[in-house]
Amino acid sequence: MRRPSHIAFALTLAVAGGAAFAQAQSEKDAKYRVGDKYTGYTYADPTTQSMQDDDYVNPGFLWVQEGEKLWSAAEGAAGKSCADCHGKAQESMKAVGALYPKWQEKIGKLENVEQRINQCRADNMKAEPWKWESPALLAMTAYVQLQSRGQPVDVAVEGPVKPHLQNGERLFYMRHGQLDLSCANCHEDNDGKWMRGDHLGQAMANGFPTYRLKEQTLISLQFRLIGCVRDTRAEAYPYGSDEYLDLELYLAHRGKGLPVEAPSVRR
């Protein structure tokens, strides 16, 4: 359960450079593949996949259930709940999450789903924004994202968003940290290989928030990115930084067309 030692990390990468892992291309996997894009589901152990397959086994649904309750709970000085303005989440939030991160004209800023939810709390409910990685924000994000399950990821990348996409791409190929590794070094060059107990995948972001078995909790995409940046022995960017936002956008664009599978289950 511990984070592997990073020296061993680099070593294993070198040794594992043999035959690429043969994908078990089962029928079940098919909906998690679009062309040569594969979601993390296809790399997961069958037992982990089966946890994700059943909404009554997937612990992520404990957060979804909590999010559903929060949806109709009035909070803040305006005395409003999400449901007061948005009605049924199944209708108003359908496929919304598949379009995020999204440019917000009003504030001239790119926002991810967590930030959009918190913007509603601040502006429309006059309530305190939820903290990053707080149980409530994870729960609401899971609930909102669930309404996009199966919908193809489709972020807009033109206009004011374009420089963000370019920056996200730059960061993806930029080497980070003492180990001098880029995201692509692990997730493209070594896609399909084993890094110790980890089966390296393509860094698709369509499954977040994810129930991470190692953490025994639901995690946000930014939590995962912080972990991946730290694995290069770099100082991680803080939550909500422009770097992660742009990376989120680039990851979504790279995974365009893959179905949203939140809340996914990963090792």
Partner 1 sequence: MAEARVKLPDKVKKGEPFEIKTLVSHPMETGQRKGADGKIVPRMIINKFVARLNGEEVFSADLAPAISANPYLSFFTVANAGGKLEFEWIDDQGQKSAYTAELKVEG
State the residues that interact with partner 1 by CB under 8 A.
Answer: 54, 56-57, 59, 61-63, 65-66, 135, 139, 213, 216-217
Please, are residues 130 and 137 in contact by the beta-carbon 8 Å criterion? yes
Chain CA centroid to CA 205, Å: 4
Q: Which is nearer to ligand HEC, 203 or 249 (CB)?
A: 203
- Say whether residue 84 binds ligand HEC (CB under 6 A): yes
Q: Which is nearer to ligand HEC, 153 or 203 (CB)?
A: 203
Residue 210 interacts with, from ligand HEC, partner 1, none (CB under 5-8 Å by kind): ligand HEC
Find the shortest distance in angstroms from Cβ 221 to partner 1. 20
Pairing of strands 194-195, 198-199: antiparallel
Nearest Cα neighbor of 221 from 137, 105, 127, 123 is: 137
Quick check: is 82 catalytic?
no
* Cα 15-226-117 angle, rounded to 5 deg: 140
110, 140, 155, 249: which one contacts ligand HEC (CB under 6 A)?
140
Coil, strand or helix at 106: coil
Per residue in 200-238, is it b (16+ CB within 10 Å) or e — as a string? Answer: bbbbbbbbbbbbbbeeebbbbbbbbbbebbebbbbebbe
Residues that bind ligand HEC (CB under 6 A): 40, 80, 82, 84-86, 96, 102, 116-117, 120-121, 124-125, 140, 144, 172, 181, 183, 185-187, 195, 198, 200-201, 203-205, 207, 210, 224-225, 228-229, 231-232, 247, 251, 266
